[in-house]
A and B are shown apart, each in its own frame.
Chain A
């Protein structure tokens, strides 16, 4: 059974940093694109970033370019999102999802981790 478990969320001040992790199990992690998708409180879904199987391709939504970095460790079956220079508008539940290549799809999602950015 596929499991995606996010961790690392929590309250952070504007300008601060946070690193989210996603532990994957139940499938061959190294065979899939992986993505981060977020949802601000009471708002819709927003794709944040995705990464190719070997990490050679990474894409980001414009609003996080230069501040967020997606990475993965296939040996540890883990996906990461390093978030720097956080802004109030980055406040959201961050979901890890399997998939996300062009013309692909997200079949499996984690339960999400909440990142409130506030002073």
Chain B
């Protein structure tokens, strides 16, 4: 099946630093999604990207849908302690009745105050 390579696996940063993470795939996706999982909770959708080249922001978060449709990037600016958690990318290859959502393995982010 389709696989997503998400990197880095983990990051330890100081409060105020910027963060970058990415996902790559050998397959093309129609939609890229970024989720965040807070400790002890389920993942929550942060950003959805619908077309190649799209750049979308949500507060301090910015995500991009790669031109080749095989990759996506998430940046967090000026990190704060509540940014701690696991960030997952997910790619969707088609919608409707042909459900196909593939998750990356996650990036564990630790922010030191």
- Asked if chains A and B come from one complex, the reply is no
